């Protein structure tokens, strides 16, 4: 082989021997160093248990609903809030909070920034002297009319209930009434069924007659009323027209309510008792009247309408009388005759004329108590009262001077009226209760003109001397058919009456005698106003 080819071939051979490909078949020399010992596997800790999923919160069960009550032209709206332990009712200016967990009720006046606490065990309002109890039979008929409709996500059923009140001989309250109710019910919300309304109304007249109820029909149909129309017929007074009232639930929802709704708000002043609370409200309202602010006293006057201003009644006697409540009774009497009347604070002739012009008043109706007298019953009256199972109450007499005066002018009418109480029968008891109910609620609850609880007041009057409670107009089936808001309004009314009359409990009540005097004067006053109306259009 040529020497010049020998060197490249040698170099190529060496390259192949040393290349990785060529060396794959060659076993590596054994290692003399032992591999490090493997570490023992660490002991595994048991995995921590996953936290249990929190239980889902219970579905909301509190209830809020809004109601509208209508009696004639009078309408009242209210809002109700109910939880398992507490309830709140907003009735015009007044808020009633029932704290069942503390066994007490709280009444709040928003306009007077005041409140009063009344224990559940508080005594009922003072009534007329109680007579010996008798028996009153009440028959209740419940009929499913078969109609159904969807309301607030539930199925409502239509039920007609007829109640007839029939007093037996010896009953102290001899009023007879027929009540017919056409109502729509849904099932009672769970929170309300768990905490039924157990409030009871005091007898309106002092009577403690035993009420015996006989019931036909399926009482389980009676649930939570979402609307009803009630017609009450007086079976004693044949000339009286049936009175119709209605209720409608305009809003209803199940939700979780804020606990603060059921506590006493900060910044309010506590009243010592219902009497002081009622006086605080009355004083606050009177301050508004004294300022003469038309927007807080009366709505804009309609063209061609006669408006009468009624200042606080003046008492020239030494006896005690609630002159503000009496003013409200006079206004109520005028309104029943379709005459527009507005309350006014007491003042001088010049002050009254100035306020009257601001309010668009055509006439001022000035009333002055000139005599209040009390005497003991005797002779035939005493015997008759004993026969009627009534306690011998004092006989009271009242005299009023009433003047109808054009603003800035001379009296158009001046009349001396008188009234007397001390006869036999309902005049002694029921009339006093009726007077108090009509008088106190409308003004003391903050309604300067329309009366924030006017429809409630009318409903109470419908049942005065009847079953004794507005709520009782709704039958008490196993579902608890009590109209809860009406029951709350009835409670408020009782407390107001108790507070308003507390100051005269140690002396005679002239309410019924004053009622007679107002009725005596009312006819002439109304006639004079109506005669003047065409000339002033």
pLDDT in tens, 211-269: 899 999 998 999 999 999 999 898 988 888 888 889 999 999 999 999 999 999 999 99
pTM above 0.85, yes or no: no
What is the pLDDT, as a whole number, of residue 315?
95
Q: Output the CA torsion sign for 439, 229, 188, 137.
A: positive
Whether 174 has a pLDDT exceeding 90, the answer reads: no
Q: Please, which pLDDT band fits residue 491 given cuts at 50, 70 and 90?
A: confident
In whole angstroms, give the CA distance from residue 158 to residue 147.
Answer: 5
User: What's the mean pLDDT in 146-165?
Assistant: 95
Whether 19 has a pLDDT exceeding 90, the answer reads: no
Q: For 188-208, how does the pLDDT look when each residue is reduced to its tens digit (9 = 90+)? A: 999 998 876 655 555 544 567
**Tokens matching residue 220:** 């389980």
User: What's the mean pLDDT in 446-474?
Assistant: 45
What is the pLDDT, as a whole number, of residue 353?
92
User: Higher model confidence: residue 445 or residue 91?
Assistant: 91
User: What's the mean pLDDT in 341-348?
Assistant: 90
In whole angstroms, give the CA distance from residue 339 to residue 249.
Answer: 31
In whole angstroms, give the CA distance from residue 424 to residue 421.
Answer: 9
Could you tell me what percent of the chain has a pLDDT over 70?
68
In whole angstroms, give the CA distance from residue 206 to residue 131.
Answer: 7
Total Cβ atoms within 10 A of residue 10 = 10
In whole angstroms, give the CA distance from residue 481 to residue 472.
Answer: 9
What is the pLDDT, as a whole number, of residue 251?
97
In whole angstroms, give the CA distance from residue 491 to residue 106.
Answer: 11
Highest mean pLDDT among 128-132, 390-394, 446-450: 390-394
What is the pLDDT, as a whole number, of residue 56?
84
Domain residue ranges in the chain: 273-536
Range in 313-322, 365-374, 481-490, 512-521 with the lowest mean pLDDT: 481-490
User: Higher model confidence: residue 351 or residue 292?
Assistant: 351
Could you tell me what percent of the chain has a pLDDT over 90?
35
What is the pLDDT, as a whole number, of residue 37?
58
What is the pLDDT, as a whole number, of residue 143?
96
Any idea which fold 273-536 has? Rossmann fold (3.40.50)
Whose CA is closest to 524, among 363, 408, 416? 416
Secondary structure string (H, E, C) spanning 245-288? EEEEEEEEEEECCCHHHHCCCCCCEECCCHHHHHHHHHHHHHHH
In 3-state terms, what secondary structure has residue 451? Answer: coil
In the predicted model, what is the mean pLDDT of the chain? Answer: 77
Whether 89 has a pLDDT exceeding 70, the answer reads: yes
What is the pLDDT, as a whole number, of residue 426?
40
Q: Please, which pLDDT band fits residue 131 given cuts at 50, 70 and 90?
A: low
What is the pLDDT, as a whole number, of residue 44?
60
Q: Give every CB contact of residue 62 below 8 A, 6+ residues apart in sequence.
A: 81, 82, 83, 191, 254, 255, 256, 257
Q: Please, which pLDDT band fits residue 93 given cuts at 50, 70 and 90?
A: confident
Whether 21 has a pLDDT exceeding 90, the answer reads: no
Q: Please, which pLDDT band fits residue 486 given cuts at 50, 70 and 90?
A: confident
Range in 14-18, 487-491, 496-500, 532-536 with the lowest mean pLDDT: 14-18
In whole angstroms, give the CA distance from residue 448 to residue 461.
Answer: 20
Residue labelled with tokens 């290692």: 31
Q: Give CA separation, 195 vs 221, 420, 472, 474, 503, in Å.
A: 19, 46, 18, 18, 35
């Amino acid at each position: 082989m040529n020497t010049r080819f020998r060197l490249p071939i040698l170099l190529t051979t060496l390259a192949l021997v040393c290349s990785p490909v060529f060396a794959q078949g060659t076993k590596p020399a054994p290692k003399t160093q032992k591999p490090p010992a493997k570490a023992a596997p660490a002991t595994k800790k048991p995995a921590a248990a996953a936290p249990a999923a929190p239980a889902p919160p219970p579905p909301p069960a509190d209830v809020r609903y809004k109601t509208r009550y209508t009696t004639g032209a009078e309408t009242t709206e209210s809002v109700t809030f109910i939880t398992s332990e507490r309830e709140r009712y907003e009735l015009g200016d007044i808020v009633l909070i029932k704290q069942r967990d503390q066994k007490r009720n709280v009444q709040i006046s928003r306009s007077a920034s005041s409140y009063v606490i009344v224990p559940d065990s508080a005594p009922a309002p003072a009534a007329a002297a109680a007579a010996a109890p008798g028996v009153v039979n009440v028959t209740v008929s419940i009929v499913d009319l078969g109609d159904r409709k969807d309301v607030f996500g539930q199925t409502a059923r239509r039920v007609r209930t007829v109640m007839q009140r029939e007093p037996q001989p010896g009953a102290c309250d001899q009023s007879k009434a027929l009540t017919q109710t056409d109502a729509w019910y849904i099932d009672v919300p769970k929170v309300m069924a768990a905490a039924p309304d157990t409030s009871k109304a005091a007898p309106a007249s002092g009577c403690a007659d035993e009420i015996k109820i006989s019931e036909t029909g399926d009482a389980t149909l009676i649930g939570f009323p979402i609307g009803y129309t009630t017609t009450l017929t007086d079976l004693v007074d044949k000339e009286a027209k049936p009175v119709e009232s209605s209720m409608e639930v305009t809003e209803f929802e199940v939700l979780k309510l804020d606990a603060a709704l059921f506590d006493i708000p900060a910044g309010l002043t506590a009243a010592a008792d219902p009497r002081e609370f009622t006086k605080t409200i009355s004083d606050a309202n009177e301050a508004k009247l004294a300022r003469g602010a038309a927007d807080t006293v009366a709505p804009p006057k309609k063209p061609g309408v006669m408006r009468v201003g009624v200042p606080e009644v003046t008492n020239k006697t030494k006896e005690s009388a609630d002159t503000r409540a009496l003013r409200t009774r006079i206004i109520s009497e005028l309104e029943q005759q379709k005459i527009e009347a507005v309350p006014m604070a007491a003042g001088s002739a010049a002050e009254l004329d100035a306020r009257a012009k601001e309010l668009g008043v055509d006439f001022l109706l000035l009333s002055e108590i000139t005599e209040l007298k009390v005497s003991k019953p005797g002779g035939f009256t005493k015997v008759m009262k004993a026969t009627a199972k009534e306690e011998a109450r004092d006989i009271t007499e009242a005299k009023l001077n009433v003047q109808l005066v054009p603003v800035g002018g001379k009296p158009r009418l001046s009349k001396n009226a008188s009234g007397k109480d001390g006869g036999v029968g309902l005049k002694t008891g029921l009339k006093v209760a009726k007077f108090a109910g009509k008088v106190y609620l409308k003004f003391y609850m903050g309604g300067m003109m329309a009366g924030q609880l006017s429809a409630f007041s009318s409903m109470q009057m419908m049942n005065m001397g009847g079953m004794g409670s507005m709520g009782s107009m709704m039958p008490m089936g196993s579902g608890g058919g009590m109209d809860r808001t009406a029951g709350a309004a009835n409670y408020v009314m009782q407390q107001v009456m108790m507070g308003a009359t507390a100051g005269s409990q140690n002396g005679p009540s002239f309410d019924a005698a004053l009622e007679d005097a107002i009725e005596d004067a009312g006819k002439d006053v109304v006639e004079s106003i109506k005669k003047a109306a065409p000339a002033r259009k």
